Structure 1
């Protein structure tokens, strides 16, 4: 049986720059960086040091995607409209202040939501990253 999610993919414009951004800005650690075979395919993963069981693959749009899908993702990244990750924090305001001090670009400061406090930033490839300080809520109350 499946025990947990172990890998998610975030599409990036440049694997080296993205890896450094996730390490320097978010405090992630490198888990893998290898080039495979003659094709030059590069497999780059990072993980949060407290959760090494969930790796984030930093992948440039290309094979195994077909060219139409790869181009659509490249356009989405260039427009800053590509979704990335949801990141949990115990204190959204404090995380916002710390990340802003590190040069992270926020498109939405911490804001109250029914499910907690949320802020939205972009990584250096244009992916939207949502920081959430969750709180208990009843989803049926939103209907």
Structure 2
């Protein structure tokens, strides 16, 4: 038996604004853009992980009004779980993401527990960390 992660969802306020961040800043490729009434789901992924996709959608997409409102409230507070990406060139990735105008929470530093990392907020306020394994 095998098991592998296929999709991970990220709630955003504006899909198009977030596309610029995740596609242009992080360098993820758009794999699918699915409209459904007034909502849409966009999947993105890294060429280095062809079987894993991130789905971005607004809080009310596919949810009840009550559930969408609750998720929207958490998104506005910045209280949703952080997302952590890995790169092989943290400094170049940091500069590319910073060029999108994203809010920098932490410039690249060496962490005492091993990796070198940085942190941003995406346009919707989600916290992202980007890490690079220590050089041997």
TM-score greater than 0.5 by the shorter chain: yes
Task: Determine if contact 2:78/2:126 at 8 Å carries over to the other structure.
Answer: yes
Q: Report the CA distance shift for 1:27/1:94 in structure 2 as closer, same or farther (over 3 A).
A: closer
Distance 2:58 2:100 in 1: 24
Higher mean alpha-carbon deviation, 56-65 vs 117-126, is at 56-65
Task: Determine if contact 2:26/2:96 at 8 Å carries over to the other structure.
Answer: no
Task: State the TM-score, normalizing by the size of structure 1.
Answer: 0.78
Task: State the TM-score, normalizing by the size of structure 2.
Answer: 0.81
Q: 1:22-101 maps to which residues of 2 (within 5 A)?
A: 22-36=22-36, 39-62=37-60, 64-101=62-99
- Aligned-CA RMSD value: 2.3
Q: Report the CA distance shift for 1:79/1:2 in structure 2 as closer, same or farther (over 3 A).
A: same
Higher mean alpha-carbon deviation, 70-79 vs 10-19, is at 70-79
The offset of 1:68, in angstroms, is 4.0
1:141 — aligned with what?
none
Q: Name the SS of the counterpart of 2:81 in structure 1.
A: strand
Task: Determine if contact 2:106/2:120 at 8 Å carries over to the other structure.
Answer: yes
2:125 — aligned with what?
126
The offset of 1:90, in angstroms, is 2.0
Distance 1:130 1:4 in 2: 22
Q: Report the CA distance shift for 1:61/1:2 in structure 2 as closer, same or farther (over 3 A).
A: farther
Distance 1:83 1:124 in 2: 15
Q: Report the CA distance shift for 1:35/1:64 in structure 2 as closer, same or farther (over 3 A).
A: closer
Q: Name the SS of the counterpart of 1:87 in structure 2.
A: strand
Gapped regions of structure 2 (runs ≥ 5)? none
Task: Determine if contact 1:7/1:57 at 8 Å carries over to the other structure.
Answer: yes
Give the paired residue count: 134
